[in-house]
Each structure stands twice: as C-alpha cells, then as structure tokens.
Structure 1
Amino acid sequence: MTVSIYIPGVSAEVNNGPGRQQGAYPLNQWYVAAHSKELTDTPVGRTLLNEAIVLFRKGNGQVAAVEDRCCHRHLPLSAGTVEENGIRCGYHGMLYDDSGRCIDIPGQDKIPRRAKIHAYHIREQNKLVWIWFGQQQDSEPTCEPPAYPIHDDPRYVSDGDVYHYNAPYQLIHDNLLDLSHLGYVHLRTIGGNAKLHMNARMDVESEGTSVRVVRHMPASEPPPTYTAAYPFKGLIDRWQEIVFHPSHLEIWTGAVDQNSEDVNNPERGGFHMRGFHGITPETSTSCHYFWSMATNPSQNIEATKAKVIEQTALTFDEDKVVIEAQYENMKRFVGEAMIDIHVDVGPNRARRIIEQLKTEASAG
C-alpha cells in the first residue's frame, strides 16, 4: 500500500512569509509557546504558526505575549527589556503593556491611539505556557488549555527542554506515534531488541481528535536507560502508551520485573517515564519541540532524575538527526511513492485528524 504525504517546502503553495495562513495549520487550538522556566526577566522571541511573537513575564509574575515588533520602526521587542509593567523597545524606548498598547514614549507626553500592537491570549499552567490561535487573530478562546497534572504530581520528578527542528511538525508526530523505531534508532538509550519492537502487539483507538496507541513487550531485556535508572532483576515486561492530541502527545513508557505485575493496571509500580511532547509549528517547514520527562525514582532521587533527563535528551538528539535527514531526502525524492507498513496505523490516523482540522479552519 502506498501513502500520500504532503511535503512542505517543495510546492509552490508553501508560503513561509509572516502572518496567519488560513488552512495551513489547525486553528481554534491552544499550542505550547514555552516552558514556564524559560520566561524570567528576559524577553523570548519565537515564531509560532508563522507569527513573530515575544513572550515575557511581568513584574507581578504574569506571562504575556505580543507581536514581536515596535509599531514605531519595527525593531523586534525581543531585543528590548522587560519592566514591571511591560516590555520596552530597545531602539527608542517605547513601553508596551500586556494588551499591546503603548503606555510610555520617552520625551513625549501624548501617545497616539494607533500606538499598539496585537496581543495574544496566553495561559500558564502545569509548568507550561500555552498560546491561543483562533480562526481570526482576535478570536477569544473557546476552551481552556490542556491540563498536564504530571508536572505537579508529587510522585514524579521532571525536567525538560526545547528543540528546534528544520522539518515539518507532522514528521515528529509520525515518529512519536510509532515507537517500533526504538530498536534501530535508540540502541544506546531506550532501544532494546529490534525484533521485539517490530512485532509487539499494537492496539490503536481513536476518539474525537485524539489517537491512543498501546504496545506491550513482555520478557524484554532492559535497555541501557532502564538499567541505569532502576534495579531490575532480569527480564522485564515493558509498556508503551501514546496519546496524540493536535497540539501535543503524552507518552507513558516503563517496565516491571517479568511476571511481577499486570502492566494493564493503572496503579502498577516499576520504572515509569512519562513524557510530554508539545509540537508547535514554527513555519510549514520547521517547528519547536517542547519536551519534558517525569520519572518515579524510589532512591537517589536527584541522581536518577538527572540520569533519566540526560538519557532522554540523547534519544531526542538521535531522533532529530533521523527526522531532519528524512525531510531532506523527502525533498530530494519528491514524487517518489512511499509505502505503508503495519506500524503506520497510528501516524496515519493522526494525519487524517490534522487534515480535517485544517479543512475546518480554512472553511471557517
């Protein structure tokens, strides 16, 4: 069976110029804009869904997001400074509040009514900063951001980072929904027996705009990351539970000693890795990958956490090399058919959901 995958960057339809592009991405959605820890006393400039945005934290601790430009001479506000009441341009000192309104012009008492820029709806929760993209730039949010209580769960310790990919965001969706690649790409970290990975039973369910993939691998050899973080006695029973949402994926992986517990029990013990993966398009050919990993060490908590985070970062380094090389070759071999195999059920369902949401955004 062949599969048709649209390849941004090789079509005349692609436009990575500034501004909102109807039909290019799912809209009426919350997307991850930053980790909470990224926003301190320095502005963060970031392109999200083709829009140049500056994120900052005000003196009262509240987060804000506005267009990354001064309305005077268009210097990026991310080149400016954060103050108690807003962000000040680094060229002529105009100060903007979190509504995008200019509230101070040095040396000038009167502030023109047109001295304002667009502001974004933004929410901070569970150590993540979310930004709303509606069908129209001034659309009000129609729902609250997705919750991710794992970041605040006392049973877990977590940390994370952000990657920039020179590849379309859906290639990362494909990668995360198909963990059969672990045995080939991640031999030094979370891999394991490649044959077991490729032959693991896979159950795929869809509901609304989400896709859930569950894979079990009984009687596995523990991979390097697992043995470095947990005192397994020998063979292990592994699980991989992946839930896709248009803005992010949640992946719960882990293992127990072989035959010691039911891996379907939601309260099972053993070694846990709960990954958050916020995939936000930068443009049609690039994206931001906001990740975190939570784990449940029973001893040497900080050392085990550090080891798990280090190993997780190594796996993402490995994936980044593969995905960016894949995209370069897709552009080189544009027009050549790609086939589907059994591991593509989850990724293909996610792609259909994204296409439907894009169609709805374009029609709206």
Structure 2
Amino acid sequence: MTTSCISIQPVKAPPAASPFPLDQWYVAGFSSELTDKPIARTFLNHKVVLFRTGDGQFAALEDRCCHRSLPLSCGTVEGAGVRCGYHGMLYAPSGQCIEIPGQERIPAKAKVKAYTVVEKDHILWIWMPRTEGSEPTTDAPDYPHHNGPRYKFGSGNYHYKAPWQLIHDNLLDLSHLGYVHLKTIGGNARLHMNAEMKVSTEGDQVRVVRLMPDSAPPPTYKAAWPFGDKCERWQEIEFHLSHLRIWTGAVEPGTDAIDDPNRGGFHMRGFHGITPETDETCHYFWSMASNKHPDMPENIDEVIRQTAFTFDEDRVVIEAQYKNMLEFGEQATWTDIHVDVGANRARRIVSRLLEQQHAERMADA
C-alpha cells in the first residue's frame, strides 16, 4: 500500500470589507485648521493624524507610533515632520521614521501608513484607497468659489452622532427649511413643499433644482440684501459622493431670471464635505461664500453666523432622528414622499459603488 502526501494550501481570506466607497477623495478639513499642532481625526474607521510641516507640506499618517502605539497626534510638529510625544521618534510625511533619539540606526520597518492629502481651494482632501499605498486615480475636486473676487467665505465643522447618509438626505431635500429654519433661511413652508423641482442624474452625481418665485424673503436674505416684500428664490443642489454644493439665493422681482446662470442678486454658495468617521458618526466640514450689495455693509460675518445657527438646528433634528431609528429598530420603516427623489438617487449611487467594490474585493480574494 502506498501513501501520498497532499499539499493543502491555506485559503486566502478576502480583504476586510469597508462599509464606505474607497478609492475616493474625502474632505479632511480646511487648510486653515493646520497651524503648529497635529490634529487627530478618524476617517472611514481609520485613525489619522493631520499636520503641516515647517516647509508648508500637508501630511496625513496613521495616528500610531510604531514603537509603543502612542497616538502621534499627542506629539509635536517640527520642520521635517511629527515627533512622537513618548520617546521622540520623528516621522516624515512619507510615514518613515527619520530620527530615533539616542540611536543612529533606524530600522526599515520603523514606519507607519501614510495617506495622500492635498490642499486645493483652502480645502484638505484625503485619498482613501482600496489597496494600501495605491495612488489616486483622479485629481482632487476643484471649488473655485473660495477664491473668486465675487465672494467672501467663512468655514467651520461639526461632529455628528449619526451616519453620513442622513446628512445627504437632509441636504438634498431643502423642503425642510420652512419647518426647521424659520429664524434664518426658511420662509413659507407650504411654498417650500410645493416648489417646482427638477432632479437629474449623471454618473455618480445627482442634481436637484428648486425654483420659488413670488417668495417672501427669509430673515437671512433681508439682513444681507435690500429686498422688499417679495423675491424670486432658487436652490440648486449638486450631490457628489464626498461632498455637496448648494447654490441658493434670490433676485428682486422684475430683474434677472432665477434660472439664468449669470443672474445677479443675493447668493449663498455652500460647500458641505460629509466624511464618515465610523459607521454611526461623521464629520461635517462646511463653508459658505456670499456676495454683498454695493449699498449695504459687509455681510459675510452675519451670513456665517446665521449659517452656523441653521446647522445647529439641523444637527439637533438629525441626531434625534438617528436616536429614534436605533430605539425603534426594524419598526422604523420609512414612507417616501415627493421630496425624497434626490436623496433616494444618492443612496442608490452609494449602494452601487459598494456593490462594485464588493465584487472587486471578491475577485481579488
């Protein structure tokens, strides 16, 4: 009787699935936030430290010293990189350790994961790769309204105890303004709910256009522009996976058409970078750019103050919504109404990207 040996190869486990689309640019913050100290943030369940070197280079590393795992965000920023606050190991933007105090030899494995981060139009973008170390396949998005002479802008950020797609839903459906934001950008609730709305999809983008002629100007508009009893309002929303661009405003009746791309009047151009932190929390990086009437005082500070107030109101609503969803569990089914078209299309885009990602992940296994 003969016996033979059978070589059994271990089954290769597929890479861990991500609940978020990868190989994408996400907003990491604003360049003005990086001064002389590192910033700790979590993006898509990955702990990251952000910093700017002495020569102005922006960097993003895994927030962990390879020696004893102290967060590098507990350290200090120096000319060449970030120094760990435990034993002083210095890391370059590449993630490689370049100095160990009291030791000349630096092991090759003394390094941490580095992410590609770029600054563009005052916005920090971080590339979240599907495969560690892979290079970006596209350029980071442009946002020219931060630099144009027509507008001045201010910015801020929020931390949400709610998943990122609930913020997508909120921003793609501005019919809620008449109920949630009565003191600032709201206005007649019935007019909002019955506004003419056009929704279109192109690739991974959704566009929602809402027109509200013969509208009473809300408080923010009246404070910034010499409107009378009526104005012609518009709301144009562009959904991109990592951010939304919302152009709202109004013209005085009898002047420009509200669908003219070169219309005048009062403008508010909002940038909304929605970046997942974890499955149940997210970052909300926002800016608002606005113009001023030639016969009125500078208005950007008041516009920013009122914008922040509206976002405070949104956060209360969305976090209460999510808390209720958790408490009701499977009973918390949703009934769609006519204003949900844009939000539903955005959710389908995210689902499609995740399905494609899953198929690629299994093919790589």
TM-score normalised to the size of structure 2?
Answer: 0.93
Q: Within 1, Cα distance between the matches of 2:196 and 2:70? A: 54
Q: CA deviation at 1:21?
A: 5.2
1:351 aligns to 2:347 (yes or no): yes
Which whole-Å deviations, capped at 9, do the CAs of 1:127-181 have from their partners, x for residues lacking one? 0010001211221110101111111111100011010000000000000000000
Q: 1:294 aligns with which of 289, 305, 310?
A: 289
Q: CA deviation at 1:299?
A: 4.0
Q: Within 2, Cα distance between the matches of 1:135 and 1:69? A: 20
1:183 aligns to 2:178 (yes or no): yes
Which whole-Å deviations, capped at 9, do the CAs of 1:22-65 have from their partners, x for residues lacking one? 24001111000010100111101100000000000011111001
Q: Which runs of 5+ in 2 are unaligned?
A: 1-14, 361-365
1:212 corresponds in structure 2 to 207
- Give the aligned residue type for 1:362: H
Q: Within 1, Cα distance between the matches of 2:211 and 2:71? A: 49
Q: 1:101 aligns with which of 96, 99, 112?
A: 96
Per the alignment, in what secondary structure is the counterpart of residue 339 of structure 1?
A: coil
Contact 2:292–2:298 (CA<8 Å) still a contact in 1? no
Per the alignment, in what secondary structure is the counterpart of residue 292 of structure 1?
A: strand
Contact 1:213–1:346 (CA<8 Å) still a contact in 2? yes
1:360 corresponds in structure 2 to 356
Q: Within 2, Cα distance between the matches of 1:324 and 1:259? A: 41
Q: CA deviation at 1:334?
A: 1.4
- Give the aligned residue type for 1:339: T
1:276 aligns to 2:271 (yes or no): yes
Q: Within 2, Cα distance between the matches of 1:55 and 1:161? A: 17
- Give the aligned residue type for 2:322: Y
Contact 2:238–2:244 (CA<8 Å) still a contact in 1? yes
Q: Within 2, Cα distance between the matches of 1:302 and 1:41? A: 34
Q: Within 1, Cα distance between the matches of 2:278 and 2:59? A: 22
Contact 1:157–1:295 (CA<8 Å) still a contact in 2? yes
Q: How does 1:1-364 map to 2 (within 5 A)?
A: 22-299=17-294, 303-336=298-331, 337-364=333-360
Q: CA deviation at 1:85?
A: 0.3
- Change in CA separation of 1:291 and 1:302 when aligned onto 2, cut-off 3 Å: farther
TM-score normalised to the size of structure 1?
Answer: 0.93
Relative contact order higher in (CA < 8 Å, ≥ 6 apart)? 1
Q: Within 2, Cα distance between the matches of 1:113 and 1:301? A: 62
How many equivalent residue pairs?
345
Q: Within 1, Cα distance between the matches of 2:290 and 2:50? A: 29
Q: Which has the larger radius of gyration?
A: 2
Q: Within 1, Cα distance between the matches of 2:254 and 2:352? A: 42
1:9 corresponds in structure 2 to none
Contact 2:224–2:293 (CA<8 Å) still a contact in 1? no
Q: CA deviation at 1:300?
A: 7.8
